[in-house]
Amino acid sequence: MLLSSSEITSRLISDLRLGLPIILYNTDQSVLVAAIETLYSEKLEKINQITNNLKFEIAITNRRAKVLKARIYNESVTRLAIKDQVDIELLQAIADPSRDLDYPFKGPFYSEREGNFEIAAVSISLCKKARLLPASILIKIPKSIKEKLVSSQISESDIRHLEFKNDNANFLPTLSTAQLPIKGYQNISLTVFREITDLTEHYAIVFGNPKITQPALTRVHSACFTGDLLGSEKCDCGEQFSVSMSKMKNEGNGILLYLNQEGRGIGLANKMRAYHLQNIGFDTVDANHRLGFEDDERDLEIAAKILKSLGVIKIKLMTNNPKKIEFLTNNGITVKERVPLIASMNPNNKDYLKTKAKKSGHIL
């Protein structure tokens, strides 16, 4: 059976998340790839045995390379040359900044200037989609080892066949929808959508019957386990979620999109790593950079696609983030009005809110 590009990509993401190595290749080379976060010592030893202890490289983002003071020669990714055998502890310390103080003398690192960077860049994209630390090991393998690994059910793919975005359909057919009465309001429907590439599910909570001809009051809300569920005071997410729900209940109409893009798209585990870094003095943006991520890794194109699937193209957007307006506008949604969504400041989120305003351009 022939697999589609999206299905192949999904399989590779799942394998990396499970801790399995994968094979990526192009016309020049075949490379065995493993995500450093899900590696452990026995697995690394087995990979070394299978590949006859071939030398390998480490792929990291340029953000992480700057932290490690490694030279950057490519706009997309940095490849660190590993000349001697390293243990799993050092590999994980290279990938995970929450361990920087445990391994302060990791360098110096030697970056590859020449060669093909495409496979390294794809490996980082796959790690990010898997919500793992964006760091992988790369081992160039000959045909004989590749055939042996493929016969052992290791997934392989030509990087040209991978697809991280599908312009035609980012979702499988709508999974399910049903009426869902909540406290204080009865006329609510919940619709579940699922991405093709990594099978992440997102939710559209629709209050009343928003008219297609009128701008619908809309909130694009990214999941925040710590704020929405636990009531964390480190952010303003939980309060923004509650205020949005209350306003839509009061008006009797509205659409709240709940996107499972925790921690601005880096996942809960990486968000906790970022919190650890914040606790020792880094702000929310710098913490993301030390992890190897950009300021914001969310894909807001998903929100536009969900709105269009609901028949909505004109909205009043509840947000303090001008970039959300820009993203939605660029993807075919007309934002007729920005509705401010101001949360209260407390000693625990004061610096966080100041950073959002200063570095991320939020209007507070």
Question: Do 134 and 234 belong to one domain?
Answer: no
pLDDT at 186: 84
Residues serving a catalytic function are: 296, 298
Asked if residue 169 has pLDDT above 50, the reply is no
Question: Do 209 and 93 belong to one domain?
Answer: no
In a domain, 242, yes or no: yes
Asked if residue 123 has pLDDT above 80, the reply is yes
Question: Do 156 and 23 belong to one domain?
Answer: yes
Asked if residue 141 has pLDDT above 90, the reply is yes
Name the residue range of residue 333's domain. Answer: 176-261+298-359
pLDDT at 207: 93
Domain count along the chain: 2
pLDDT at 171: 60
Last residue of a domain, one of 132, 161, 190: 161
CB-CB neighbours of 143 under 10 Å: 8
Distances (CA, A) of 163 to 58, 99, 243, 245: 23, 33, 37, 35
Q: What is the pTM of this model?
A: 0.89
Asked if residue 170 has pLDDT above 90, the reply is no
Interacting residues of 331 by C-beta distance below 8 A, sequence separation 6+: 300, 301, 304, 305
Question: Do 141 and 219 belong to one domain?
Answer: no
Last residue of a domain, one of 136, 161, 186: 161
CATH number, domain containing residue 148:
3.90.870.10
Mean pLDDT, residues 324-329 taken together: 94
Asked if residue 183 has pLDDT above 90, the reply is no
Q: Which two tokens stand for residue 36?
A: 């450093």
In a domain, 268, yes or no: no
CATH number, domain containing residue 203:
3.40.50.10990
Average model confidence (pLDDT) for the chain?
Answer: 90
Which position has the higher pLDDT, 5 or 21?
Answer: 21
Asked if residue 257 has pLDDT above 90, the reply is yes
pLDDT digits (tens, 9 = 90+) for 31-40: 999 999 999 9
pLDDT digits (tens, 9 = 90+) for 281-307: 899 999 999 999 999 999 888 899 999
Question: Do 46 and 152 belong to one domain?
Answer: yes
Asked if residue 168 has pLDDT above 70, the reply is no
Q: Provide, rounded to the nearest whole percent, the portion of the chain with pLDDT above 70.
A: 97
Question: Do 327 and 227 belong to one domain?
Answer: yes
Last residue of a domain, one of 103, 129, 161: 161
Question: Do 223 and 81 belong to one domain?
Answer: no
